[in-house]
Structure 1
């Protein structure tokens, strides 16, 4: 398995994971729109944001192996956003969003590994807290996060803004 920052090449696979969490969608069937391109570029340009993927390929460190990424299958993804704050003695906190594992690979420990690696990444950066939100409908995801040690500590609120 490889845990790495997503490349533009991974974008259709990431969008496929986000589009339907209960079905495996072929990334080739995904239409990558202009808004997706802008968002992906903004994430990549922001030092406080990372789109990360877990793939099935062997670890590669050589630039010549960049072309081999085309053969990798994206098995999972998440976005990490590092938030500065004055609380917790000025430590950053890591916000985890868009966590997905391919539907046909759930239950194999990949989600736990993805979250472990993300938590290690946040800890290495000096974050004092990792937080996430999850839709109230995703009860299986809630049990998963609780098994990993996450506690239900707050009620979340959202206000959708019309464009």
Structure 2
């Protein structure tokens, strides 16, 4: 398995993972909207944001499903500067997904381990994430990895103009 920064070519597979966490969707049937394109371009061009993927093959020998590579999981890391923790950055983990047919193999734990290692290597003093209250299995998973329920989160959806 290879853990790497996602490329534009991975976008349909990442969107398929994010669209339905209970089923495997065909990336070729995934609609990539202009909004998705803009969001991916913004992530890709921002040094403080990374969309990362876990694949089943070396990216140098296979770059997409047509060549034999399958995206097994993904997550987004955002690095946030702050004055707390001695001025060290924190890493925010978002959009964590593992293919529904590959769960239970330790891929999610490996994906998170690699993300934490990456954040630590960049000097972050904390890794944080939020998870929907409905995702109780995900909460148990994060707790098994050593994450603690230390804060109560709040979100305010903003209407589109």
Class of the TM-score when normalised by the shorter of the 2 chains: over 0.9
SS of structure 1 residue aligned to 2:63: helix
Q: Is the counterpart of residue 113 in structure 1 residue 75 in structure 2? A: no
Residue of structure 2 aligned with 1:69, choices 63, 68, 71: 63
Structure 2: state its 5+ residue gaps.
Answer: none
Q: What corresponds to 1:50 in structure 2?
A: 50
Matches of 2:147 and 2:20, distance apart in 1: 24
Superposition misfits of 4+ residues, deviation over 2 angstroms: none
- How do residues 6-45 of structure 1 correspond to structure 2 at under 5 angstroms? 6-45=6-45
The number of aligned residues is 157
Shift of 1:59: 6.0
Matches of 1:59 and 1:41, distance apart in 2: 20
- How do residues 92-107 of structure 1 correspond to structure 2 at under 5 angstroms? 92-107=89-104
- How do residues 72-91 of structure 1 correspond to structure 2 at under 5 angstroms? 72-91=69-88
State the superposition RMSD in angstroms: 0.8
Shift of 1:58: 3.2
SS of structure 1 residue aligned to 2:148: coil
TM normalised by structure 2 equals: 0.96
TM normalised by structure 1 equals: 0.95
Residues 55, 110 of structure 1: alpha-carbon distance in 2 compared, 3 angstrom cutoff: same
Q: What corresponds to 1:4 in structure 2?
A: 4
Over residues 104-142 of structure 1, what are the superposed CA-to-partner deviations in whole Å (9 max), with x where a residue is unaligned?
Answer: 000000000000000000000000000000000000000
Q: What corresponds to 2:124 in structure 1?
A: 127
Matches of 1:58 and 1:127, distance apart in 2: 27
Residue of structure 2 aligned with 1:155, choices 143, 152, 156: 152
Matches of 2:159 and 2:38, distance apart in 1: 19
Shift of 1:39: 0.2
